[in-house]
Structure 1
Amino acid sequence: MDMPQHAHTAGNDILSALLPALVLFACAAGYLHLARRAHRRNPALGWSRWRTASFTLGLVLLAVALLPPVAPWAHIDFRGHMAQHLLIGMYAPLALVLGAPVTLALRAVSTRRGRQFTALLHSRPARLLAHPAIALLLSTGSLAVLYFSPLHETITSQPAGHWLLHAHFLFSGCLFAYVIAGPDPAPARPGVRTRLVYLGCAIAAHAAISQLMYGGYWIDIHAPAAQIRGAAEIMYYGGDIAELLLAAALVATWRPEHTSGPSRFPRHRGQHRVVPQGVVHHAHRFRAPERRVDQPGVEHLQVVEQRRDPLPGPGGRGAGQ
């Protein structure tokens, strides 16, 4: 049986293409506005062009997935659906997360807004949602429920269901990429070994689901067998590439921690801690360690710590001083 096809009028087709284009354009404009604002607040620190390019690439990948010719293909061919799923749920989220939007927002907003944002990040629901097990369950575990039950046919039988499915793919993909390799600050992020274990579980789960799909075992998709096998191949090979890129991002953004004491912030010469590139933890702005002015490289450290200080308040100094 063929995949369900929906009757689209010309007006609906135009709206379905125009709406995501406008949303993506608004996201790009908002990111660039925050980048300019962060640069104005601290010209010495500025904002990485690589981060901007990465976020823009993520939006471009979303546009490819949500606009013609991929979007119409996904409605009539299960292989198109799977290609769309990989773009929305794996490739675009990685590029968006590497754009470090949380760090950018913390640099651009006021001190009061930054404190509220930081409190939200450290809230109990946020810490629970950012646990690797939850992210793995939402991103990869949901695929088994989607493809091995009538859920896929039920959701995709209505146009609104497609958008709901897209939103789930995007949110869960961004969450998993953020937990595993995101450069943004995360509450209680586990160590690299733990994250590699969860990434390995995701790779194994994707491989198992795609192989079962290729063999036709327990699959509940109303599509020709050739389409299902083709979609399984796209999921198998395309998923492997996306997960290897995620592993590379984890290695690229990770830096070893060298410390001889329990203190989070080094106080003595010879002790140092290097964090993922591009990250300035907003929660620690108000506790920057003191540095001697005759230390090597102090000029750069003063620039970073100056940004960690509270933003100027009405009295001319930081509101927290």
Structure 2
Amino acid sequence: MDHSGHGMTTDLPPFTLERGLAWSADPFFLVACLLGLGLYGWGVVRLVRRGDRWPVGRTVAFVIGVLSIGAVMCTRLNDYGMVMFSVHMAQHMVISMVAPILVLLGAPVTLALRALPPAGRGRKGPRELLLMLLHSRYMRVITHPGFTIPMFIASLYALYFTPLFDFLMGSRTGHVTMMVHFFAVGMVFFWPIMGVDPGPHRPSHLMRILELFAGMPFHAFFGIAVMMATEPLVETFREPPASLGLDALADQSAAGGIAWAFSEVPSVLVLIALLFQWYASDQRQARRTDRAADRDGDKDLEAYNAYLASLNARGT
């Protein structure tokens, strides 16, 4: 039978990773992933053809980020995620924490600004519209820590601890909307923190680290609360299909453990990336300072030589 209008059968065999990774594409995410890869590839090819360089590491990070979305939304993991809390939580964590970090490391906004041609004087093309969006008040609001951190936290507590979750899981459209929301929240939360692409807010590296860790304790506590709950928290997963041979509370506890783990691992990876960025930024600043000092030294030497030459001329 169909589950909550999602158009999938609940008569699933017990979950294994091999079964979970079998092909079962959600049309929306399949098109979105292919479109994202296609546009990114177009941008890289355009830069290369005109003789510009684009770091291979950025391309690799972006492709893996998009593929991670495909792995949880275009396989049977998406089917199991409709009836298993643990699999759903894995989807949530990948699409809200892993995929955004990797996509942002790919610097898609920077690539678009370099690849898109200017529209010409007095006209507005895609590049000009993108610049307008980046400098808009809307972007300043949704990328400000006063918005991103509460939204990041609310996406956990206000969703799973209210009837909203069951409502969204009641249809395929609601489920897709929820997953798109998870990805969007992850993007706006990590965008200013990663600092790879240009944006309205450019906090210092220390502030980025503080923003990163501001929301993580709430995330960890959420995972612990789910893991330690003695009653099912959401109706959707209260009675798993009999074919899964699954205990609902044990599965819920596993979901909490997954949420807790994902509050730690991605945070460490982002912290390492930030420390490398900080070090590289300091090295670039030191090189600029050295070059400026060299130029000033050359000017002083030239002035001194000119002074000696004037003395010599007077003596003659």
What is the CA deviation profile of residues 15-47 of structure 1, one whole-angstrom value per residue up to 9, with x for unaligned ones? 953442233122111110011112233x1x311
Instruction: Determine if contact 2:25/2:75 at 8 Å carries over to the other structure.
Output: no
Instruction: Determine if contact 1:132/1:180 at 8 Å carries over to the other structure.
Output: no
Could you list the runs of 5+ residues in structure 1 that have no partner in the other structure? 272-290, 295-321
Q: What residue number does 1:302 align with?
A: none
RMSD: 2.9
Instruction: Determine if contact 1:148/1:219 at 8 Å carries over to the other structure.
Output: no
Instruction: Determine if contact 1:51/1:100 at 8 Å carries over to the other structure.
Output: yes
Q: What residue number does 1:307 align with?
A: none
Offset at 1:96? 0.6
Correspondence 1:186 to 2:203: no
Aligned-residue sequence identity (percent) comes to: 27
Higher helix fraction (1 or 2): 2
Offset at 1:211? 1.2
- Distance (Å, rounded) in 2 between the aligned partners of 1:232 and 1:9: 25
Q: What residue number does 2:48 align with?
A: 39
Offset at 1:7? 6.0
Among 292, 305, 308, which residue is 1:269 paired with? 292
User: What secondary structure is seen at the aligned counterpart in 1 of 2:209?
Assistant: helix
Offset at 1:219? 7.2
Q: What residue number does 1:109 align with?
A: 116
Query: Greater CA deviation, 227-236 or 212-221?
Result: 212-221
Instruction: Determine if contact 1:212/1:218 at 8 Å carries over to the other structure.
Output: no
Correspondence 1:244 to 2:251: no
Among 177, 183, 189, which residue is 1:176 paired with? 189
Instruction: Determine if contact 1:183/1:253 at 8 Å carries over to the other structure.
Output: no
Instruction: Determine if contact 2:151/2:185 at 8 Å carries over to the other structure.
Output: yes
- Distance (Å, rounded) in 1 between the aligned partners of 2:67 and 2:285: 41
Correspondence 1:199 to 2:212: yes
Over alpha carbons, which structure has the higher Rg? 2
Q: What residue number does 1:118 align with?
A: 131
Instruction: Determine if contact 1:24/1:59 at 8 Å carries over to the other structure.
Output: yes
Q: What residue number does 2:58 align with?
A: 51
Question: What amino acid is the match of 2:47?
Answer: A
What is the CA deviation profile of residues 111-141 of structure 1, one whole-angstrom value per residue up to 9, with x for unaligned ones? 3444443232112111111112312222233
Structure-2 change in CA distance of 1:22 and 1:258 (3 Å): closer
What is the CA deviation profile of residues 136-194 of structure 1, one whole-angstrom value per residue up to 9, with x for unaligned ones? 22223321101111111111111111000010011111111212113111123222222
Aligned length: 262
Among 282, 293, 299, which residue is 1:256 paired with? 282
Among 119, 127, 142, which residue is 1:129 paired with? 142
Structure 1 stretches of at least 4 aligned residues deviating more than 4 Å after TM superposition: 4-7, 257-260
Question: What amino acid is the match of 1:83?
Answer: A
1:60-71 mapped onto 2 (5 Å cutoff): 60-71=67-78
Correspondence 1:157 to 2:180: no
Instruction: Determine if contact 1:78/1:227 at 8 Å carries over to the other structure.
Output: yes
User: What secondary structure is seen at the aligned counterpart in 2 of 1:230?
Assistant: helix
Structure-2 change in CA distance of 1:9 and 1:229 (3 Å): closer
Structure-2 change in CA distance of 1:270 and 1:144 (3 Å): farther
- Distance (Å, rounded) in 2 between the aligned partners of 1:117 and 1:7: 35
Could you list the runs of 5+ residues in structure 2 that have no partner in the other structure? 10-22, 120-124, 239-247, 299-316
Correspondence 1:72 to 2:79: yes
